[in-house]
Amino acid sequence: MRLHTAILLLAASAGAAGGTTARAEGEASPDAGRRLRRTPVVEAVEKAAPAVVSIGTTQFVPYRYFDWDFLGVREAQREARGLGSGVILHPSGLVVTNAHVINQADQVTVRLTGLDKDAPELPATILAADAAHDLALLRIERPGPFPAAAVGRGDDLMAGETVIAIGNPYGLGRTVSTGIVSALDRTITIRDREFSGLVQTDAAINQGNSGGALLNILGEWIGVNSAIYSRSGGADGISFAIPVETVNRFLASSAFSGRAFGKWAGMDLAEDGGAVGASTVWPVGPAADAGIPRGARIVELGGRPVRRLGDAVLAFVDALPRGRAAVVWEDARGRRSGEVRIEEPPTARLAWERLGIRASEVTPQLREATGFPVGSGILVTEVRGGGAAARAGLSAGDLLLAVSDATVATAEDLLAVVQQARRGETLSVTHVRPERTRFGVRADRRRIDLTVE
Catalytic residue, chosen from 85, 90, 100, 177, is 100
Angstrom distance (rounded) from CA 126 to CA 230: 30
3-state secondary structure of 172: coil
What sections of 206-303 are H helices per DSSP?
244-256, 286-289
Angstrom distance (rounded) from CA 149 to CA 52: 8
Strand 426-437 relative to strand 440-451: parallel, antiparallel, unpaired?
antiparallel
90 is catalytic: no
Distance between start and end Cα atoms, the chain: 104
CA-wise closest residue to 55 among 129, 107, 133: 107
- Which helix (H) or strand (E) segment is 109 a member of? strand 107-111
100 is catalytic: yes
Catalytic residue, chosen from 54, 182, 210, 226, is 210
Angstrom distance (rounded) from CA 83 to CA 206: 11
210 is catalytic: yes
Q: Are 36 and 167 in contact (CB under 8 A)?
A: no
Quick check: bond before 305 cis, omega within 30?
no
Q: Are 287 and 266 in contact (CB under 8 A)?
A: yes
Torsion, Cα of 213, 217, 222, 228 (10° steps):
-50
Q: What angle do CA 434, 408, 282 make, to 5 degrees?
A: 150
Catalytic residue, chosen from 130, 134, 202, 268, is 134
Angstrom distance (rounded) from CA 169 to CA 80: 18
Active-site positions read 100, 134, 210
